[in-house]
Amino acid sequence: MREEDSNWFAKWEEELPSPEELMPLSQTLITPDLALAFDIRNPPPNHNRQSTPPPPQLPQTTAHSSQPNSSAEFDSAELGGSGGGGDGGVAGVGGGMGSDEPARTLKRPRLVWTPQLHKRFVDAVAHLGIKNAVPKTIMQLMSVDGLTRENVASHLQKYRLYLKRVQGISNNGSGGVGGNNVSADPTDHLFASSPVPAHFLHPGRPNSDHFLPFMPVATMQQHHQMAAVVGPGPHHHPQLQQQFRHFGTSPPNGQFEHPFLRPSQQQVQRMGAPVHSNNGSVAPPLYVKDLESPRAGNGRKVLTLFPTGDD
DNA sequence: CCGAAAATAT
DNA sequence: AATATTTTCG
């Protein structure tokens, strides 16, 4: 029953192109409203955590700030035929949101790090170099709307552990190096989906670098796929849980993706110092291809932000 | 601000 | 129960 992840996973493995890692990074992501459409998490009746201070990047654009409530119906662009399950599924979690809840102090839902997003992360780190690969820089370089330093920092930590893990693996017969070999840890799945820059292991060696075969963006299909908020907030009240079961597709492919695409806005945060990568490669704006496949099914309030793409 | 650890939620 | 993510402490 959990073999379902192998779907996209396997697909991505094959998709892992080489030049992609050195490819330019540019990310736009998550729609403003949606991304920040924070909703509620399930805070226990205890003290409320965090006060959600004024986020520096609140796209309070001029006007419409759609409230997070309600499901955002996005046109499901083209979905696969697999079932059409497109179901816009986002749960409108009814509950009580909708009218009350000052959407002002919202909390960000759990961020789902999808392989694509992780790749962006790795790319940024690779371009930055372990030296400058600090949360702030990475976050800025990623330009992922909705991504926060804390998010990156947290993930960075995990990523480092993963690297350490693969490093320590010297007896693993896999032999394959360079991309992903490692044995099979559950946590490795996520990291394994993203190629690991070879030189991530030695900081003291700014060399080795990689070749930069600048490959033109040949295949850039415009698939849209982005943030998707799913999940009802079941534990808010011990009463009934409104769960939305959105069946839809559970075929061998089971790809429930909510294709959304919104012109994400790129927020340029000011960085005091320009980020230079070790290999001196800048990051020219380019299109990125990514795919997202969040897991839905029951009530999970997660926000998976993502750009688009895919083969 | 970064790094790691602890806590919490899924 | 394990894992992922968030949050807090150093």
A187 touches strand C (CB under 7 A): yes
Element (H or E) spanning A189, and its range? helix A186-192
**Given pLDDT bands bounded at 50, 70 and 90, which one contains residue A220?**
very low
A198 touches strand B (CB under 7 A): no
Give CA separation, A194 vs A117, A178, A186, in Å: 9, 11, 14
Q: How far apart are CA A275 and CA A142, in angstroms?
A: 12
A110 CB-side CA count, 13 A? 16
What tokens appear for A298 in the block?
A: 């029951």
A113 touches strand C (CB under 7 A): yes
A155 touches strand B (CB under 7 A): no
Q: Tell me what pLDDT residue A198 has.
A: 67
Q: Tell me what pLDDT residue A109 has.
A: 87
| Bases along strand B below 7 A from a protein CB | 1-5, 8-10
Predicted confidence (pLDDT) per residue in A169-207, tens digit? 665 555 444 444 445 666 677 888 877 876 666 655 554
| Bases along strand C below 7 A from a protein CB | 2-8
Answering whether pTM is above 0.75, one says: no
Give CA separation, A93 vs A45, A241, A242, in Å: 19, 10, 7
Predicted confidence (pLDDT) per residue in A265-297, tens digit? 444 444 444 444 444 444 444 344 444 444 444
Query: Residue A160, exposed/middle/buried by CB under 10 A (0-12, 13-18, 19+)?
Result: middle
Element (H or E) spanning A11, and its range? helix A6-15
